């Protein structure tokens, strides 16, 4: 039997805690809820980290396995996982397969909006992966029909239909019309994951050089006048990895540009005699794989590959107090570079760089998040109808007051005329 530590207490509770007793025995489950409430009361104030939570709880409370419980609960706090960024996931860069033919694999993208110039506000850019030959077509609108027409009129008419076409997940490149055009041309479409411009790095690097050249040479907003000269300079500029320019790989010789001082010597030669040499030289050309400058240090959490639930980093513009992560969401399929995640009942392929494993507390079930809202906020139909009704009613009152005033003024004039 146990004795009460305070003999003078008005109430004493005595129980037998042995395994052979028939009375009430204490179980750890009754104190488990109390411990969790203690942790919630301390941790919910400022949501500190694991070590800080351990110090705060241990300074006021004591129980067996305190540090372990606090560490697990702090790691499983969904609010902390959704709001804190400890370290961004960086997967190692993958390598594109080198195409064997020129103009066989093309990357496309859209630049804009730009300052209006002759009615154009966007650019459709196209880059060949083998020769790095760039094309940029001004666009007045970015509808799928206009983009497809510009691609056919510019690229297909000059270099033929490519076998593969890579692009981001813009609405123009994921529409049914774009898929129908690609199916009619016999082109395989490849889409990058959302918020991952590295997958379309060939176009992004070309955009950087083109914009820098336009900014350096422009004196006003007439960028359409300078665009042909900028493209000529980029096409004739030698590239270190290719050891030549894009124009030399396309035409077999350097293009003549304004300002050439010494022309290349021209010697008479017979086409029939030089044809075998030209074919051998062309067949000896091997495409150069893309180079990687300044490789970032790769880091992937060890438990990401086995995680059942993940958080998705919100890379779009957000308010300062909005959590940077959305989730948790259920993982449907894992991979080296991408995961297929169930986002609001819809499977989406997401790059590993935007994912973070979701840790689950032992005593708390995982509550899946709803799909994040995409696009700009638009008022609901009911709110819009209510606002429209209020506007119409205000206009009706204003018109009624105006008509009443005109009627009153008209009656006063008639009375005055009758009096005269």
Contacts of 353 (CB under 8 A, 6+ apart): 88, 89, 90, 91, 196, 313
Q: What is the mean pLDDT of each run of 10 residues along the chain (420 residues)?
A: 56 57 46 76 87 89 88 86 80 71 90 90 92 92 92 92 89 90 91 78 87 86 89 87 80 79 60 62 63 68 85 79 85 86 86 84 74 54 49 50 53 52
Rounded Cα distance, 343 and 193, in Å = 14
The predicted pLDDT at position 170 comes to 86
Question: Three-class SS of residue 128?
Answer: strand
Of 196, 193, 192, 176, nearest to 184 by C-alpha is 176
What is the CATH code of the structural domain delimited by 105-257+274-284?
Answer: 3.30.420.10
- Listing DSSP states for 47-79 in one string gives ---HHHHHHHHHTT---TTHHHHHHHHHHT-HH
Pairing of β 164-167 and β 105-111: parallel
Determine contact, residues 185/156, Cβ cutoff 8 Å. Answer: yes
Kindly report the pTM of this predicted structure.
Answer: 0.61
Of 110, 106, 107, 105, nearest to 171 by C-alpha is 110
The predicted pLDDT at position 384 comes to 47
Phi first, then psi: give them for residue 126, nearest 5 degrees. Answer: -140, 135
Contacts of 217 (CB under 8 A, 6+ apart): 226, 229, 230
The predicted pLDDT at position 9 comes to 63
Residue recorded with tokens 């301390």: 42
Please determine whether the domains at 105-257+274-284 and 301-372 fall in the same fold group of CATH. no
What is the CATH code of the structural domain delimited by 301-372?
Answer: 2.30.30.140
Rounded Cα distance, 233 and 230, in Å = 5
Domain ranges of the chain: 1-75, 105-257+274-284, 301-372, 380-420
């Amino acid at each position: 039997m146990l004795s009460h530590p305070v003999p003078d207490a008005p109430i004493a509770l005595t129980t037998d805690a042995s395994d052979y007793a028939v009375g009430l025995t204490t179980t750890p489950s009754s104190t488990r809820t109390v411990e969790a409430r203690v942790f919630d009361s301390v941790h919910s104030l400022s949501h500190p980290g694991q070590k800080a939570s351990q110090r705060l709880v241990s300074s006021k409370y004591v129980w067996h396995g305190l540090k372990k419980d606090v560490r697990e609960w702090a790691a499983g706090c969904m609010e902390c996982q959704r709001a804190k960024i400890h370290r961004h996931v960086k997967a190692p860069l993958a390598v594109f397969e080198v195409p064997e033919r020129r103009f066989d694999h093309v990357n496309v993208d859209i630049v804009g909006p730009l300052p209006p110039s002759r009615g154009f506000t966007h650019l459709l850019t196209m880059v060949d992966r083998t020769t790095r030959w760039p094309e940029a077509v001004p666009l007045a609108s970015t509808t799928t029909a206009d983009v497809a027409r510009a691609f056919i009129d510019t690229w297909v008419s000059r270099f033929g239909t490519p076998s593969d076409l890579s692009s981001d997940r813009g609405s123009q490149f994921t529409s049914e019309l774009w898929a129908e055009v690609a199916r009619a041309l016999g082109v395989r479409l490849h889409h990058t994951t959302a918020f991952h411009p590295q997958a379309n790095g060939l176009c992004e690097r070309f955009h950087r050089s083109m914009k820098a050249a336009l900014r350096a040479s422009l004196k006003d907003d007439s960028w359409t006048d300078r665009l042909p000269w900028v493209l000529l300079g980029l096409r004739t500029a030698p590239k270190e990895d290719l050891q030549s320019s894009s124009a030399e790989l396309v035409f077999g010789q350097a293009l003549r540009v304004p300002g050439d001082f010494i022309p290349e010597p021209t010697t008479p030669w017979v086409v029939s005699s030089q044809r075998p040499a030209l074919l051998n030289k062309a067949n000896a050309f091997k495409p150069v794989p893309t180079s990687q400058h300044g490789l970032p240090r790769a880091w992937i959490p060890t438990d990401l590959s086995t995680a059942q639930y993940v958080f998705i980093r919100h890379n779009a513009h957000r308010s300062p107090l909005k959590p940077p992560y959305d989730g948790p969401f259920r993982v449907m399929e894992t991979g080296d570079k991408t995961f297929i995640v169930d986002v609001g009942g819809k499977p989406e392929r997401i790059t590993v760089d935007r994912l973070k494993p979701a840790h689950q507390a032992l005593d708390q079930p995982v509550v899946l998040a709803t799909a994040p809202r995409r696009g700009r906020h638009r008022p609901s139909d009911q709110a819009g109808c209510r606002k429209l009704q209020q506007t119409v009613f205000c206009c009706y009152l204003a018109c009624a007051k105006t008509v009443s005033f005109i009627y009153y003024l008209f009656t006063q004039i008639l009375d005055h005329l009758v009096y005269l």
